[in-house]
Chain A
Amino acid sequence: MTELRQRAAREPDAASEDKELESEVKIDGETASDSESRAETAPLSTSVDDTPEVLNRALSNLSSRWKNWWVRGILTLAMIAFFFIIIYLGPMVLMIIVMCVQIKCFHEIITIGYNVYHSYDLPWFRTLSWYFLLCVNYFFYGETVTDYFFTLVQREEPLRILSKYHRFISFTLYLIGFCMFVLSLVKKHYRLQFYMFGWTHVTLLIVVTQSHLVIHNLFEGMIWFIVPISCVICNDIMAYMFGFFFGRTPLIKLSPKKTWEGFIGGFFATVVFGLLLSYVMSGYRCFVCPVEYNNDTNSFTVDCEPSDLFRLQEYSIPEVIQSVIGLTTVWMYPFQIHSIALSTFASLIGPFGGFFASGFKRAFKIKDFANTIPGHGGIMDRFDCQYLMATFVNVYIASFIRGPNPSKLIQQFLTLRPDQQLHIFNTLRSHLADKGVLTAAVEDE
């Protein structure tokens, strides 16, 4: 702890904004001993004010509390506008953005690890961490690319070899990193190095797998990417609004600013928002169709016949609501029913990701993950509630929406041995015969 105290003394005076935020945090029901230890050990993160000069000048005459609110508001709108622009630009750009966000999140968490363990001086760790990130990304991208770009890969000879032995190559690369780690163990720093190794791997587990599931969802159709993320963002904002206006009973000791009113209000608002958004988006092919790579035009296309999920169907309303609305049936997309499930998850379980991040920040005595976005903190602060959402959507799609891909199955079948093929064929035949699908007439066709 002595090192931390020295570090706090060395840093320049915090901007007025950060002092303001610190005093806000102190008010949040901490005991005397806590605030005493907090005063002793200043927060680890940076205290430099990143707000652009132009904003600072524009808002210089407001009081500092309102200034904070305005800065947050403006940045929120800027981020949302940026999001819309990216959606407009198409799936390729979205993929690249997801990749960048992933790298930045990784960087933020690893930097926290370095600060916690004061291991910034040992340069091998940084190289090794980035190397492991590269390996795992290579592995995941190889798996995705091989699936979706099958024809492209088959054409190019070096790509074909890379994809055939993909797992072996990835494993070899990982092994090299592992052996480098073992060889880099230094006598008095074993524990530190093992901690950083563990830290890197857990971060990879959290950040990289989530981002690749996001990309999988994206390929399923942009709507599966946009609706979940917007639900989480909407839940964040709505819960904050409801908490601001109606908040009274605290929700959890971890995050003293969250309230039950905000939680429940956010839940209902998010479900309604999800319904509306999916209704609006289901009408457009560019959102609804799976992203495919067209060999002829050598680009991504989103053009298809929308599946049953995205075709208007008539649902009869239960009597209890019939009297209220005055309609017997309503036209909805089946996807809207799914969106209720997605929004429910976003509002009920998503916040646990936020609590996890809050607990993490309290555990390591940091205010924000980093200082990338003025007024909001780091990229991780914005994406903490998305942790579990991507995994949930992916599992949801795999379980309830689509089964395995038939053409892919045929490809796999063709690579098997003849006796295996025969065995599978016979099993399939007996299965179909049992089901009554396969009759003698069909057989003779």
Chain B
Amino acid sequence: MLAPQMSPTNQLIRQRDGAGFEIPEHSEFLGTLIPRITCGPVFCSVLLLLVFTCIFILPSSAPFASVYSSLNHSPKAHETDIDDRYGDLDSRTDSDIPEIPLSSDRTPEILKKALSGLSSRWKNWWIRGILTLTMISLFFLIIYMGSFMLMLLVLGIQVKCFHEIITIGYRVYRSYDLPWFRTLSWYFLLCVNYFFYGETVADYFATFVQREEQLQFLIRYHRFISFALYLAGFCMFVLSLVKKHYRLQFYMFAWTHVTLLITVTQSHLVIQNLFEGMIWFLVPISSVICNDITAYLFGFFFGRTPLIKLSPKKTWEGFIGGFFSTVVFGFIAAYMLSKYQYFVCPVEYRSDVNSFVTECEPSELFQLQSYSLPPFLKAVLRRETVSLYPFQIHSIALSTFASLIGPFGGFFASGFKRAFKIKDFANTIPGHGGIMDRFDCQYLMATFVHVYITSFIRGPNPSKVLQQLLVLQPEQQLNIYKTLKTHLIEKGILQPTLKV
């Protein structure tokens, strides 16, 4: 248990290193990797399976079990109706349920030896610091690897978050013994992921999908297949209802669905933002992380007035200081990232190269423009105009959301932990807690960025329009083709002399 815990992504990287792959330029790397395996989807599924099994192998939150046995009644007392016990649990206030400390320390042995000389408070600070730097460098490494790896990372995180929340549900309701629940929860996760991935994959891989016949069938009837899969799970749930455990089973069913709603939809919105351009993925996430860190630092040095009863360690000074520093950070990060095509261009799948490419003509959002400064800034900076990327203006909106509303996600998670008397979601990251603890402030950010993009930046998704066009009847397609052609010629986009 005290051996160094490798996250699934680390293991993947080590595997690739072991197989003798070098790590060249990002897009070239992917170009060599994918055709080397027979087919992209096969590769994906193998990878996903690997991630999946890794999550099962990683130790789950075993420390909770012993403490929950001291809750309420002993197991023998009320065997007749387990639901009654939970009735008590439901209506009672929180005060008489004991707190659950995390009793296993997952800090790697090396760190422990290195820091054995320090006092325990500094040791804790050092562990947190080292792990923070490790996570940040891992983040940079994954960015370097490219959008595909990022997608896999997002998927891996989503599965782990789901696993953590579901495990908490099992602990709360002590339903770990009923094996159907675990199967059903994972099955529902699979169904919903299949549905969402089918919707996204179909959009972005339109050309790739057109070639394969079986994929065509799957895409065309995608909704029907997803619904049938979900129905099968629903019917299995109904058939699995056991006489004395109805309430428990319904609770787990609802718990699974709310968890799916929170984790899976958010992660798919993240991936859609990613496809819009990696900058739409990086800037929001780093703004949230920056807000976390700077609010903590401001609170550490200047903190005096508490912010909210839920999280006693948060202060108003930290909140406001974090807000300003995040806006500045977002501004600067947006400026630095907007220069590179790699971050700015929408991710596309090119069928000829059989890989993801991020090459394009940057849109106006990412071209330097001159803005005239308002008079009071003119006097301060002694300049008339300033060259900015328009995206930086948007980044102010994103950073503002990250600093003002993002913390509510954190408060939500704190309230959740207090409600169920847990210290951390899990024990995955030493010093920090579970994956959910790191991502709780990101809850709403992904949705906000997605809504922001669809409302203010771009119109409908072009790949989706194309996909729908290709599904129509040939006569309808021909009609549309003629309409489009006249429209484009009118607009001067298309030259009339162009031949087939």
Q: Which residues of A contact B (CB under 8 A)?
A: 1, 3-4, 33-34, 36-37, 41, 116-118, 164-165, 167-168, 171, 175, 178-179, 181-183, 185, 187-195, 198-199, 201-202, 205, 252-254, 349, 352, 355-356, 359-360, 362-365, 388, 391-392, 395-396, 398-400, 403-404, 406, 409-410, 412-425, 427-429, 431-433, 435, 437-438, 440, 442-443, 445
Q: Is the CB of B469 within 8 A of A409?
A: yes
Complex Cα distance A193/B418, Å?
12
Residues of A within 8 A of B95 (CB): 188
Q: Is the CB of B250 within 8 A of A167?
A: no
Q: Which of A4, A179, A193 counts the most chain B CB atoms within 10 A? A: A179
Q: Is the CB of B84 within 8 A of A1?
A: yes
Partner of B90, one of A116, A414, A422: A116
Known contacts A352-B234, A410-B484, then 15 further A-B pairs from the complex at CB < 8 Å, ordered by chain A residue: A37-B84, A117-B90, A168-B456, A178-B408, A194-B415, A195-B90, A359-B249, A400-B224, A403-B473, A409-B468, A416-B459, A416-B465, A422-B493, A428-B477, A429-B481
Complex Cα distance A415/B460, Å?
8
Question: B405 within 8 Å of A by Cβ?
Answer: yes
In the assembled complex, 17 residue pairs joining A and B whose CB atoms fall closer than 8 Å, in A order, are A1-B88, A34-B243, A37-B81, A41-B87, A167-B451, A188-B94, A190-B415, A194-B420, A198-B254, A363-B250, A364-B247, A413-B465, A416-B462, A418-B493, A421-B493, A422-B493, A428-B470
Complex Cα distance A26/B405, Å?
53
Closest A residue to B89 by CB, please name it: A191
Q: Is the CB of B471 within 8 A of A167?
A: no
Known contacts A165-B455, A413-B465: A253-B243 contact under CB 8 Å: yes
Partner of B238, one of A171, A187, A355, A398: A355
Q: Is the CB of B247 within 8 A of A363?
A: yes
Residues of B within 8 A of A198 (CB): 254-255, 258
Closest B residue to A437 by CB, please name it: B474
Complex Cα distance A195/B447, Å?
23
Known contacts A356-B238, A443-B499: A422-B488 contact under CB 8 Å: yes
Q: Is the CB of B246 within 8 A of A424?
A: no
Q: Is the CB of A178 within 8 A of B444?
A: yes
Residues of B within 8 A of A433 (CB): 500
Known contacts A421-B493, A425-B488: A349-B231 contact under CB 8 Å: yes
- A-contact bits for B238-276, CB 8 A (1 contact / 0 none): 110101001101100011011001000000000000000
Query: In the complex, which residues 181-233 of chain B have their Cβ closer than 8 Å to any Cβ of chain A?
Result: 206-207, 210, 220-221, 223-224, 227, 231
By secondary structure, the B interface counts as helix
Query: In the complex, which residues 427-483 of chain B have their Cβ closer than 8 Å to any Cβ of chain A?
Result: 444, 447-448, 451-452, 454-456, 458-460, 462, 465-466, 468-474, 476-483
Complex Cα distance A164/B459, Å?
10
Q: Is the CB of A431 within 8 A of B447?
A: no
Complex Cα distance A199/B419, Å?
15
Residues of B within 8 A of A400 (CB): 224
- A-contact bits for B370-381, CB 8 A (1 contact / 0 none): 000000000000
Complex Cα distance A360/B238, Å?
10
Q: Is the CB of A425 within 8 A of B234?
A: no
Q: Is the CB of A175 within 8 A of B500?
A: no
Residues of A within 8 A of B94 (CB): 188-191
Q: Which of B444, B479, B484, B487 counts the most chain A CB atoms within 10 A? A: B484
Residues of B within 8 A of A415 (CB): 459-460
Residues of A within 8 A of B254 (CB): 198-199, 202
Report the minimal beta-carbon distance from A55 to chain B, rounded to whole angstroms.
Answer: 34
Q: Is the CB of A432 within 8 A of B481?
A: yes
Q: Is the CB of A167 within 8 A of B361?
A: no
Interface size on B, residues (CB 8 A): 88
Question: B485 within 8 Å of A by Cβ?
Answer: yes
Question: B411 within 8 Å of A by Cβ?
Answer: yes
Partner of A388, one of B231, B239, B261, B491: B231
Residues of A within 8 A of B221 (CB): 399
Report the minimal beta-carbon distance from B312 to chain A, rounded to whole angstroms.
Answer: 12
Residues of A within 8 A of B472 (CB): 403-404, 406, 409
Question: B309 within 8 Å of A by Cβ?
Answer: yes
Complex Cα distance A416/B493, Å?
13
Complex Cα distance A404/B87, Å?
49
Question: B66 within 8 Å of A by Cβ?
Answer: no
Report the minimal beta-carbon distance from A171 to chain B, rounded to whole angstroms.
Answer: 5
Q: Is the CB of A168 within 8 A of B455?
A: yes
Report the minimal beta-carbon distance from B184 to chain A, rounded to whole angstroms.
Answer: 14
Q: What are the nearest 8 A-B pairs in CB distance?
A: A363-B246, A190-B419, A415-B459, A404-B468, A363-B247, A399-B224, A191-B419, A168-B455
Q: Is the CB of B478 within 8 A of A191?
A: no
Report the minimal beta-carbon distance from A214 to chain B, rounded to whole angstroms.
Answer: 16
Complex Cα distance A49/B474, Å?
62
Complex Cα distance A391/B474, Å?
29
Q: Which of A3, A187, A400, A420 counts the most chain B CB atoms within 10 A? A: A420
Report the minimal beta-carbon distance from B260 to chain A, rounded to whole angstroms.
Answer: 10
Complex Cα distance A195/B247, Å?
13
Residues of B within 8 A of A428 (CB): 466, 469-470, 477, 480-481, 484
Closest B residue to A362 by CB, please name it: B246
Complex Cα distance A294/B476, Å?
24
Residues of B within 8 A of A420 (CB): 462
Question: B416 within 8 Å of A by Cβ?
Answer: yes
Question: B235 within 8 Å of A by Cβ?
Answer: yes
Residues of A within 8 A of B239 (CB): 252
Report the minimal beta-carbon distance from A361 to chain B, rounded to whole angstroms.
Answer: 9
Closest B residue to A186 by CB, please name it: B309
Known contacts A167-B451, A418-B493: A359-B238 contact under CB 8 Å: yes
Question: B310 within 8 Å of A by Cβ?
Answer: yes
Report the minimal beta-carbon distance from A70 to chain B, rounded to whole angstroms.
Answer: 32
